[in-house]
Amino acid sequence: MMAPSATADTIIEIVRAALQPHGLFLRGTVNFSAAEAAPLLADGRPAASVVLIGNVGGSFWQPFSRWRDGLPDRGGGADPLDNWSKAVIQPIADARGATAYFPSDPPWQPFQQWAMRAEGLKASPPGILIHPRYGLWHGYRGALVFDRPLPETGERAAEHPCDRCTAKPCMSACPVSALTDERFDVGLCRSHLRSEAGRAGCLSSGCLSRNACPVGAGYRYPEGQLRFHMVALSL
């Protein structure tokens, strides 16, 4: 457990400093009331707070790439990014008396709901939560839950970019019209990525719909990261 003398602000600063070398950030905090269904701590008690951990733009790409290059097979397993995230975040949780949760692992946790509550975000047509500063170029790699309330971290959205976007270039840019007002057709997208046209387009240079969004264009992922994510989506 965290030392009793550690204040809530101290916990936040210690965790933030531990994440910094890995290109990860504290993305937001949710404090739970006694009446809410909260995630469980390792000892089975309901948590008092959860802190989201994630990337901004390509912030983690170089640390992740160095980790992967240092492996004997330069592989990292079937899900190297998930494995790297656990290798980074779990020791921080253990050292700080927190319980770690990851989007890739059961028991499944409502990461998107937490993010919408913590940062005031909403989903874009491609299904990615859109941030007013980072656009579609951000993500969540894990979360730490604690036995005490914690201060807010990250920044809250004052407005939702999609609400004032009339052109919707993300929808018209999709070469196979996988985006509609009702849903994102993942199967259609995946089939396109496996085609010759898809391999020459979205698979090699990133999702054309995502690239078309003007919000947060300066945070666009580097080319290697774009290919990595698209190859994972195509499998």
Three state DSSP letters for 76-101: CCCCHHHHHHHHHHHHHHHHHCCEEE
- Over residues 172-196, mean pLDDT: 92
For residues 5-34, give the mean pLDDT: 94
Q: Where are the chain's structural domains?
A: 8-160, 165-234
Which ranges constitute the DSSP H helices of 120-222?
169-172, 186-193, 196-200, 202-205, 208-212
Lowest mean pLDDT among 3-17, 42-56, 199-213: 3-17
Average pLDDT over residues 23-52: 96
Tell me the mean pLDDT in the region 128-147. 96
Lowest mean pLDDT, pick from 62-66, 104-108, 179-183, 207-211 = 179-183
Tokens 């919000």: give the residue. Answer: 215
pLDDT bin (cut points 50, 70, 90) of residue 136 is very high
Residues with Cβ within 8 Å of 38's Cβ and at least 6 positions away in sequence, in order, are 32, 46, 47, 48, 50, 145
Q: Are 30 and 50 within 8 A, CB to CB?
A: yes
3-state class (DSSP) for residue 141: strand
Whole-number Å distance between alpha carbons of 110 and 118 = 12
Q: Is the pLDDT of residue 2 over 80?
A: no
Q: Residue 75: its pLDDT value, please?
A: 66
* Average of per-residue pLDDT values in the chain: 93
Lowest mean pLDDT among 116-120, 144-148, 153-157, 190-194: 153-157
Higher-pLDDT residue of 128 and 158 is: 128
C-alpha span between 127 and 112 (Å, rounded): 10
pLDDT of residue 72: 79
At residue 1 the predicted structure's pLDDT band, cuts being 50, 70 and 90, is: very low
Confidence of residue 155 (pLDDT cuts 50, 70, 90): confident
pTM of the model: 0.92
5 pLDDT higher than 60:
no
